[in-house]
Amino acid sequence: MKKVLWVTNILLVASVSTSLMAAEVPKELNQSFLEALKLRDEGNVFASIELLEQLIASQPQHKRAELELAVAFYRAKLYADAQAYAKSVLSDPNTPDSVKETIQVFLDQVNAEQEATDKNRHRWSGSFGLGIGFDDNVNASPESSIVNINGIEFSLASNSISKEAKYGTINLLGRHAYVIPGTIGLGIRPVQREWTSTLNFYRKAYSEESDYNLDVITFSTGMDFISSTNWRASLAARMDAIRLGNTHLGWFKGLNGSYTMVEGVNEFTFTADVTQQDYDDAANTNREGVRTGLGAEVLHQFSATVAGKIGLNVALMNAKEDFKTYQSKSVHSGIYYTVMENIMLYGELNYRLLDYDGAEPFYNHSRNEHQVQGVLGATFSIKEGHLAGWGIGARLSGINNTSDVSIYDYSRTDVSLDLSKQF
């Protein structure tokens, strides 16, 4: 339906534009006029608008330029301006009746599109999810109770050895997007703006290890930019309230930005973020500070059913204490296979290198870590029955973390199953 409406609009615009072809165009303005039409047809709408406005300022009687300017404003989704210039030509007594009929059809289309846009200016969406899982190392700790510190063996307390537990999760997300009227010129094509806000609540509760229950409430709000060509971008402020066990852990506040460009079967995304991490408990105050990160990712569509991605991320955590200050470098990759319309299988492989600045207490040397994570998963969308519209996801994750500070050596396996619905 949208494609039919788009084709109809193109034919209507062409009809309006050619209705005055017989009108005289002053020779001294002809070159600029044709250049303005060329720019508009190439998609450089705002450059076309600027040139046509200059022509009209010097030749107010040049009604065909007004009509073409109305079409340009329509393509830029600046409906009030399109209506104003079209009505100016419509009200001119020298405009032929046949042209007036075409202009009226054009105005009706502009009015209809503006009403439809205004009606959908506020968009609400969200999701709801429930899950269960099993984690064989809830506290990300060594499996052995014996650690070696500078050649001396020490026994770890029981709560510092890896613990396993079942868990349940709940995930609630609400999103509101306000479509800002009109467009702006960034690059050569019109860019739509949307102010988007999201509120997300996530809870992970363990059956026997409640000290590791995790609650995160995230609020973000900011501007999305959507080009009519091949790119989109966003800039948003974000706040996370984090609770671990029965204690409020801290507040994270920051800015997130992204830019995505689509070129054929490739999608390139660049990200940047800065986050102030503040902790409420004394045990973590040495971790307080500012984290900054940069990322780049390429998503490639190998075929209609197979896609793959690979990305790089670098980050710097400037913490209050040197031994909690680190540089992070990571590589992430994934392959995604759509088996059927409603079934997808995927695998991911990630690697991260952490390099800490200061000397770890008791070890007298800085800490360096290598972490490898592998993920296998599947998603299934239910099409019929009482659960139509719901999705099922299964995920198996394995992590191996090696460090030159032995208490940070650990391995972890997590398996989960979830049920979710978009609305």
pLDDT digits 0-9 by tens, 327-373: 999 999 999 999 999 999 999 999 999 999 988 887 788 899 999 99
Nearest to residue 276, comparing CAs of 256, 247, 301?
256
pLDDT of 323 strictly over 60 = yes
158, two tokens = 């029981």
Does pLDDT of 187 surpass 80?
Answer: no
223 pLDDT tier (thresholds 50, 70, 90): very high
What's the DSSP call for residue 81?
A: H
Q: What is the distance between the alpha carbons of residues 316 and 222, in angstroms, rounded to a whole number? A: 24
Question: What six digits make up the tokens of 324?
Answer: 């909690």
From the list 308, 311, 310, the residue with the least C-alpha distance to 336 is 308
Q: What is the predicted pLDDT for the residue at 1?
A: 39
Q: What is the pLDDT of residue 64?
A: 84
Please say if the pLDDT value at position 181 is more than 50. yes
Structural domains in the chain, sorted by start? 2-119 (1.25.40), 122-422 (2.40.160.60)
Q: For the packed helices 79-90 and 97-119, what is the interaxial angle rounded to 10 degrees?
A: 160
Q: What percent of the chain has pLDDT above 90?
A: 61
| pLDDT value of position 339 | 96
What pLDDT was estimated at residue 354? 96
224-227-233-234 Cα dihedral, nearest 10 degrees:
-10
Helix (H) or strand (E) holding 422: strand 410-422
pLDDT bucket at 410, cuts 50 / 70 / 90: very high
Q: Residue 19 class from Cβ within 10 Å (0-12 exposed, 13-18 middle, 19+ buried)? A: buried
The torsion angles phi and psi of 406, rounded to 5 degrees, stand at: -60, -30
pLDDT tens-digit map of 17-33: 444 444 455 565 678 88
More confident residue, 413 or 151: 413
pLDDT digits (tens, 9 = 90+) for 57-78: 888 877 888 889 999 999 888 9
